[in-house]
Chains A and B, each alone.
Chain A
Amino acid sequence: MLAKRIIPCMDVDKGRVVKGHKFQNIQDVADPVELAKRYNQSGADELVFYDITASNENRPLFLEVVEKVAAEIAIPFTVGGGIRSIEDIYQTLRSGADKVSINSLAVKNPDLIREAALKFGSQCIVLSIDAKQMDSGKWHTFIKGGREDTGIDAVAWAKEGERLGAGEIVVNAIDTDGDKNGYNLELTKAITSNVNIPVVASGGAGSKSHILEVLTKADADAALAASVFHYNDINIPELKTFLDQNGISVRR
């Protein structure tokens, strides 16, 4: 039976793991290599790395960190942030990433998904969607770290991403990000019921129940969270026991 996945996410800025709230008020948390080792040991099913500032200057440094992390872990590893081209994807995979996550660039250049999927395989192309609910009730896709509304319907964009060849979708609810009041079930469900590729829910985890909820009620294939794992507010082995007791298949 395919297990539901628990994925700690590290937002990395200039070689350090940081945390923010609604993408703001950035605080230093830890050394990514040390943190990654801890997650590898504690039973995390996968790790995600986002280069949150992704300026040109820090890209070589970032790939160095990617390589250092890859050397220390034996679980799948997704890297995102600042991917601009097929060459960037190639370099990131060569540095030890298993998948790359594409966000803003895919919106501006959807063909990149198609091209990348053909070249490297769908399994390593993750489409990351930052979405926010508008007054109309529709979900809009935002880019540039949640700063810019593209006006594109998030559900339609997820379907298009699948058609272009993305192998997985990360859906991040901007409204609930960092609030610790639970994932946005409505948004997650809207995506999971409209695509036939794995969907990773992101944004809002505060408790073990929130994670159970998004895996069951919204049919997410994986739950991603950052600070609740970094600060051990949610202990991963305990979380897995809790999910197992609630009838969810998890790797233990």
Chain B
Amino acid sequence: MIAIIDYGAGNIKSLQFALTSIGLDAKLTTEASVIRNSDGIILPGVGAFRDAMEALRNLNLTELLQQEAAAGKPLMGICLGMQLLFDKSYEDGEWRGLGLLQGTVDRISGEVKVPHMGWNTLTHHQESSLLNGVPDESYVYFVHSYAVRSYPQHQLVSSTTYGGLIPAIVQKDNLIGMQFHPEKSGRIGLQLLKNVGEMIA
């Protein structure tokens, strides 16, 4: 069972729908016991960085997520959820993240419209089982105003280009981040979720 951390107001039901449609069992939850008993955890993205961290703290989930990650359980962050895995964000201030991945989060720069909203292509940087059946230049759906910066290159699995290079998929052992929404990225997105499911199973 995959635990989807249900800590805010966004559309996480569609994530559950997507996982169900590819035969994965997923529960929306904030309960420590359910999270501990899960085979994998997905941290979706909801609202602003500061509010999200505050919500996780109020639910007593930050340490639990850090423990589960350290114990080797697959943990995937989607969109803001990916950003939360990193050290720090400069979204309207300076906020500490979960610190599971090295790097910071800053506003998208360059002569482009922000938010970065729509379908953009993936450029793969290394081989990964996450990319099975996902050709280079596949389109996935992004909606975000902030992106990860100053991260170790070897964690970059795939990127996109929008006002510069934006990390799209990052991975360090059992930790995965996807800046786009796989649950909203059509057939390719479902394939990516299947690949994550393989990792969890």
Q: Which residues of B contact A43 (CB under 8 A)?
A: 186
Please choose the segment from B9-17, B36-44, B81-89, B169-177 that sits at the chain A interface, where 4 or more of its residues have CB less than 8 A away: B9-17
A121 within 8 A of B: yes
Neighbour of A197 across the interface among B11, B21, B113, B139, CB < 8 A: B113
Contact count A vs B, C-beta below 8 Å: 96
A3 within 8 A of B: yes
A71 within 8 A of B: yes
Q: Total interface residues on A, using CB and 8 Å?
A: 37
Per-residue B-contact encoding for A123-146, CB less than 8 Å = 1, 0 else: 110000000000000000000000
CB pair A77 B14 closer than 8 Å: yes
Per-residue A-contact encoding for B108-126, CB less than 8 Å = 1, 0 else: 0000011111111100000
CB pair A75 B47 closer than 8 Å: no
Q: Which residues of B contact A198 (CB under 8 A)?
A: 113, 117-118
CB pair B13 A2 closer than 8 Å: no
Distance (whole angstroms) from the CB of A179 to the closest CB of chain B: 27
B145 within 8 A of A: yes
Please choose the segment from A13-21, A94-102, A231-239 that sits at the chain B interface, where 4 or more of its residues have CB less than 8 A away: A94-102
B149 within 8 A of A: no
Q: Which residues of A contact B18 (CB under 8 A)?
A: 74
CB pair B162 A2 closer than 8 Å: yes
Neighbour of A251 across the interface among B10, B113, B119, B162, CB < 8 A: B119
Q: Which residues of A contact B117 (CB under 8 A)?
A: 123, 167-168, 198
A251 to B113, CA, bound (A): 19
Question: For the complex, would chain B's binding face be called helix, strand, loop or mixed by DSSP majority?
Answer: mixed
Q: Known contacts A77-B14, A123-B145: does B9 contact A93 (CB below 8 Å)?
A: yes
Q: Known contacts A95-B13, A96-B11: does B186 contact A75 (CB below 8 Å)?
A: yes
Neighbour of A119 across the interface among B17, B47, B113, B121, CB < 8 A: B47
B190 within 8 A of A: yes
CB pair A251 B139 closer than 8 Å: yes
Neighbour of A94 across the interface among B11, B185, B187, CB < 8 A: B11
Q: Which residues of A contact B120 (CB under 8 A)?
A: 1-3
B32 within 8 A of A: no
Q: Which residues of A contact B121 (CB under 8 A)?
A: 1
CB pair B141 A76 closer than 8 Å: yes
Of the A-B pairs whose beta carbons lie under 8 Å apart in the complex, a sample of 24, sorted by A's number, is A1-B120, A1-B161, A3-B120, A3-B139, A5-B118, A5-B119, A40-B186, A45-B118, A70-B14, A74-B185, A75-B184, A75-B185, A76-B181, A77-B14, A94-B11, A94-B13, A96-B13, A96-B17, A119-B9, A119-B47, A121-B48, A198-B113, A198-B117, A222-B118
Interface, chain B (partner A; CB < 8 A): 9-11, 13-14, 17-18, 21, 47-48, 113-121, 139, 141, 143-145, 161-162, 181, 183-187, 189-190
Additional A-B contact list (15), CB under 8 Å, known A74-B18, A96-B14? A3-B118, A3-B119, A40-B186, A67-B13, A74-B14, A74-B186, A74-B190, A77-B14, A90-B9, A96-B13, A97-B11, A119-B47, A120-B9, A120-B47, A123-B143
Interface, chain A (partner B; CB < 8 A): 1-3, 5, 40, 43, 45, 67, 70-72, 74-77, 90, 93-98, 119-124, 167-168, 196-198, 221-222, 251-252
